[in-house]
A and B are shown apart, each in its own frame.
Chain A
Amino acid sequence: MTAFIVKRVLSLIPILFIMSVIVFLIIYLIPGDPARVMLGDGADEATIQQLRANMGLDQPLILQYGQWMGSALQGDLGDSYFLKKSVSAVIGEHLQPTLSLALLAELIAIAIALPFGIWAAVNRGGWADKALTAYTLLGITIPGFLLSMFLVLLFAVQLKWLPVSGYAPISDGLWNFLKFLILPGVSVGVVMSSVIARIVRSSFLEVMNQGYVKTARSKGLRERSIVYKHILRNALIPILTVIGGTFGTLLAGAAVVESIFNIPGLGQLLVHSVSRRDYTVIQGLVLFIAFTYVLVNLVVDLLYAVVDPRIRLNK
């Protein structure tokens, strides 16, 4: 297994390198530059050019990339033009909100999707199945921002149970931390649960017709034991894949939901950084997102082997 992990981590290097070149080219080739944004509307050309020079933006592109790559290899992603902090520090600051939101949303999604999907599969064609179809259809078609606004209006503005927006770190107390995350967590979680629930249902249905399930039934095992011990375990691989996929996406930052709920996460950071052309932050962030995505996939692969010991990672 160690060899597998090492191999996978090494495979990150070409991925990250290609990502960095693509990102670098995209952001430097689109018009707009940080000096102009920082100095604002009406700054004169001489001042802008001077600031550009000070930021090193007047250097040839290849030289800028070389310098950046050189320090990136030493673990230094550079400093943000706007935030006056190192890019790693900026990403660190914005990671906690995103990670918290991703974990909560994923938990909510699993808590809804797993029982609902199983229930629908077990009662295939029944009203539970129809209810699931309706639920997943709604979940997939309702835009996340609309659901968010609806939740805000109901629970924050009308009922005043939860705050409209904002974020508090967990050091402010568990309730303070959670109360800001519940509404965004639900709005992301519901959308994701409909994606996961469909996979749970179809994966379950596939396994339910296998011979060993019939054997278990004919053995006279209790239905509960059949569903949870025999079917669920065997149906878990595609479910894990989709959970890993959704979680990876969430770690990249749920930009829209973060923006609606004013959560200072990676998604919001990316949007702000693009609009103010904070090149170093965009580059660092994209590399980080690629890295976490690969990491999540690695964890999912490792979990395959745990769930199904027949899978040998070394081969």
Chain B
Amino acid sequence: MKHYQKLGLIGLLSALLIVFGCSSNSSAPASSEGAAAPVESAAAGTAAGEKLATELKYPLAQTIPTLDPHLSLGGSNSTIAVNIYEGLFAFNSKYEPVPMLAESYELSEDGKVYTFHLRKGVKFHNGKEMKAEDVAASLNRWKNTAPRAKSSFSDREFEVKDDYTIVLSSDVPRNDTLAQLSHVLNFAAIMPKEVVDAAGPDGVTEYIGTGPFKFVDYKTDQYVHVQKFADYQPVDAPADGFSGKKEALVNDLYFTLATDNATRFSSFLAKDFNNVDVSLDNLPQVESDPDVEIIKNLSTDFNLIFNKKAPLFSQLKYRQAVASVLDVDQVLLGIVSTPELYRLNPSYMYKENTKWYSEAGSEAYNQKNPDKAKQLLKEAGYNGEEVTLLTTKDTGTFYNATLMVQAQLEQIGIKTKIDISDYATMLTKRADPNGWDIYVGPFLVPSTPSQLLYLNPTYGFADDAKLAELLEASTSAIGDDAIKAANDALQAYEWEYLAAIKIGDIYNYNAIRKNLVGLTFLSNIPNLANTKLVE
């Protein structure tokens, strides 16, 4: 009898354990399987009789540090944020700023005062109409937190003139203002004033914007659920890049975290996802599928950053030696493994960004001249000091790129050491002027030189009066010709000073099922407004 009592007790213990586990049961998420029941859509842009899925799952390869669009923007954050939020301006596919929440704007003749007129009747997801006080509160918070905006806006405030007018004035002209307000990697998202006021140092607590989708739920490390916003007011202009008309063509959109490459790809093969990034190894598996389209996206550029406070690379001759030996084709091939997925580009901007693209100073690019490099090392008095290359194997292709650079440095007799850490550790090490010399990594390409991180002292410790002066001149120039001249001068000088060395631009492959219609990318960020999934 006693025996059975014991058994009963143990049974009870186990049951408690199970119930305890299950009681933390959450509200039901969407099943991670295919789309829900199709509906007949009457939406514009939809062919008659076409059956559209109401639900779409979009794969996210990286976890989300924060959903606050002002605080931090990695690719994952932008991918979600652009659906929930909008800015005063948005880029079209040529990186030109086009009004979004702004109706129009005026610029004073001296280029110092911007007056923005807001669209009327635009509603936030909480039902409130967007007014100037919301815009001013959002943008003043943004300029104080967004790393790429700080340098351009530190001396300026967005001021409310009336309910639908905002004024921004400064002592000097700022030609990058609209571009800064447009870029999704530097997202000047507009949110209600109350949300901004309630935000703590680690971010806003509510995610309310004016975008075509409203935030529903973030299930930690699983998915972010956004839903079609019924009161969305599109602008009356054709869709182009992130500008123009936006229309939610699915009801429920899930950004599903799938950090494992193989799992993401298998989920695509099993039709859980309708698009996925494809590695070169996996390409043959989807290339021949008639229902799949393979597209090539310009994803990042690669740069070599010098620690300008390191004993060797604080000296120009050492930086020049590295620039002389670099064979960027080899480095880029090491990163992407095929010539199909990279292009040479001596400019810090993409060719597509016609306003700021420049080839000035490009003689210094891709020199492949080991003899010259050795000569420079000799002149600098190189004596076998060890050079530390900082890298990570956590994500992306940092490590491959670093290995290729290491081989080329060794070729001219530089002693090297690779310091591999996880990503978080690497960020900390890189912020410290001691202990590293060279860092090679991918950069999300911004739209103006003022947003280039490595021209700032905070990133690689560039400390050069002329560089700062030319950077300032390039943003304060007025008129296309003056801007071009100032920008050419800046870029030519950067190739002399060598705060960083441009390596090239890389693409990635994306596989998209042909029934996923209308998906476009800009700076590798997807635009899911206007995207539909045909059953």
Interface residues of A (CB under 8 A from B): 1, 30-33, 36-45, 47-48, 50-51, 54-55, 81-85, 90, 92-96, 99-100, 103, 149, 152-153, 156-157, 160, 163-172, 176, 180, 259-262, 264, 268-269, 272, 275-277, 295, 299, 302-303, 305-306, 309
Contact = CB atoms under 8 A, between A and B. Distances in A.
Given A149-B262, A302-B10, A166 B33 contact: yes
A160 B145 CA distance: 47
Interface string B440-460: 000000000000010010110
Interface stretch (B66-74, B161-169, B209-217, B481-489): B66-74
Most chain A CB within a 10 A radius of its CB, from B17, B21, B205, B219: B21
The A contact surface, by secondary structure, is: helix
Interface in B186-224: 200-203, 205, 219-222
B170 to A, nearest CB: 20
Given A99-B18, A264-B221, A38 B71 contact: yes
Given A50-B201, A302-B6, A41 B427 contact: yes
Nearest to A263: B222
Interface residues of B, number: 67
Given A32-B424, A90-B220, 8 more contacts: A45-B431, A54-B200, A92-B24, A95-B20, A170-B25, A262-B259, A262-B260, A264-B221
Contact of A276 (B147, B150, B424): B424
B33 A163 contact: yes
Most chain A CB within a 10 A radius of its CB, from B10, B145, B202, B219: B202
A103 B18 contact: yes
A180 B518 CA distance: 31
Contact of A44 (B7, B65, B458): B458
Nearest to A95: B21
7 contacts: A32-B422, A37-B424, A54-B201, A164-B263, A165-B272, A167-B32, A168-B31
A268 to B, nearest CB: 6
Contacts of B201: 50-51, 54
Contact of A37 (B28, B150, B427): B427
A251 to B, nearest CB: 9
A306 B3 CA distance: 6
A172 B33 CA distance: 13
A241 to B, nearest CB: 15
Contacts of B279: none
A186 to B, nearest CB: 16
Contacts of B382: none
Most chain A CB within a 10 A radius of its CB, from B9, B32, B259, B458: B32
B66 A38 contact: yes
A174 B254 CA distance: 23
B394 interface: yes
B221 A1 contact: no
Nearest to B67: A84
A93 B427 contact: no
Nearest to A306: B6
A164 B267 contact: yes
